[in-house]
Amino acid sequence: MKRKSALIFGASGQDGSYLAELLLKKKYIVHGVKRRASNLNVSINNDIYQNRYKKNKNFIVHYGDISDSASVYKIIDKTKPDEIYNLAAQSHVAFSFEVPEYTANANALGALRIVESIKLHNLIKKTKFYQAGSSEIFGRVQDSPQNENTPFYPLSPYAVAKLYAHWITKNYRETYGIFGSNGILFNHESPRRGVTFVTRKIISGLCKIKEKKQKKLYLGNLNSKRDWGHARDYCFAMWKILQQKKPDDFVIATGIQYSIKQFINKVAKKLNMKIYWKGKGIKEKGYDKNGNIIIECHKNYFRPLDVNTLLGDSKKARKLLKWKPKTHIDSLIDEMIRAEYKYLNEDK
């Protein structure tokens, strides 16, 4: 039987690495697109990329950039894959306020470049396309929990760009019959998460505080609530989405939410640290048992506009894809703490 082939834009990020692993296990030929001057959020991801795939002859690296039309067209023409996964993005919501145009170019036009190349290279009948959507498009939530029918209300340049990518995928599906599906993924984390995202930042910070390698952790909005799952489970959903007979859009979420403060308390408990909270809003502080301030809010980590609550309803995915999250948040935190200690020891 002929091996299936897949092309992953954003192959060296958190999701790209889990997806590549899954597809290689499923005997795909995997083409991964990587930026040559890639300054990825964590060097760990680059290591995974270098060490894990370099020697695998079924993993082929292509240098390119989602913000460069010629490279996107060329790679798609050269590989003519059965499946394309677009995981390439400027993925920091806060940073999108600083670089809105770059964010629109990568996150919105990136998806357009791919669907347009599928069309131009006559791959409509051959190639299935997965667009990595984001729960951020629900923004100022109009209903709770959010499902595929909840109205969108994006609150950042990141979310506005992701909404364009969502609609252009749907538009090419309806206009040209492209097999284009959107996964609307709620937050998903892992030890491979970049250190500037809040879960990894909290786990890394608290581990270092416990080991006396850091005194304090500065954060922003402690009251926002997120629905966090494990990236590995969510990458499995991406693959399932493309194995359907028909293209469609799916919310991928756990259906359970915690505030940032609740997440901190969970991590602290696992590390046998008790945090005593005092104050409100930006003045809220976390103290250790000796009365030292170990968590403080800093204006730099607040966003001009924040999404205060996100909670996903993934009934459709559970029914049609027969998908459900396997990893409970407690196991996710345990895995992230174990990895953090490994990184700390390697640092030594």
Residues near ligand F7E, by CB under 6 A:
91, 93-94, 134-136, 186-187, 196-198, 201, 219-221, 224, 226, 260, 301, 303, 306-307
CB of 125 to ligand F7E, least distance (A): 31
CB of 237 to ligand F7E, least distance (A): 14
Burial (Cβ within 10 Å: 0-12, 13-18, ≥19) of residue 28? buried
Q: Based on CB atoms, which residue is closest to ligand F7E, 78 or 298? A: 298
Cβ of 122: how many Cβ atoms within 10 Å?
10
In three-state secondary structure terms, 121 is coil
Whose structure tokens read 């692993």?
A: 21
Q: Based on CB atoms, which residue is closest to ligand F7E, 220 or 316? A: 220
Tokens of 297: 């809010």
How far, in Å, CA of 161 to CA of 250, rounded? 18
How far, in Å, CA of 194 to CA of 230, rounded? 14
CB of 191 to ligand F7E, least distance (A): 15
Tell me how many helices (H) and strands (E) the chain has.
12, 15
CB of 56 to ligand F7E, least distance (A): 27
Q: Based on CB atoms, which residue is closest to ligand F7E, 91 or 254? A: 91
Helices 110-120 and 157-176, axial angle in degrees (round to 10): 20
Q: Based on CB atoms, which residue is closest to ligand F7E, 135 or 254? A: 135
Q: Based on CB atoms, which residue is closest to ligand F7E, 9 or 59? A: 9
Give CA 300 to chain center in angstroms.
22
How far, in Å, CA of 325 to CA of 186, rounded? 12
CB of 244 to ligand F7E, least distance (A): 22
Q: Based on CB atoms, which residue is closest to ligand F7E, 125 or 299? A: 299
For β-strands 59-63 and 217-219, DSSP reports them as unpaired
For β-strands 276-278 and 285-287, DSSP reports them as antiparallel
Q: Based on CB atoms, which residue is closest to ligand F7E, 224 or 244? A: 224
CB of 188 to ligand F7E, least distance (A): 7
* List of E strands, the chain: 5-9, 29-34, 59-63, 83-86, 128-134, 179-185, 188-189, 217-219, 225-226, 229-230, 249-252, 258-259, 276-278, 285-287, 293-297
Q: Based on CB atoms, which residue is closest to ligand F7E, 28 or 158? A: 158
CB of 104 to ligand F7E, least distance (A): 14
CB of 325 to ligand F7E, least distance (A): 14
For β-strands 217-219 and 188-189, DSSP reports them as unpaired
Q: How many CA atoms within 13 Å lie on the side-chain side of 306?
A: 14
Q: Based on CB atoms, which residue is closest to ligand F7E, 291 or 304? A: 304
CB of 236 to ligand F7E, least distance (A): 17
Tokens of 341: 């200690």
β-pair partners for 185: 134, 252
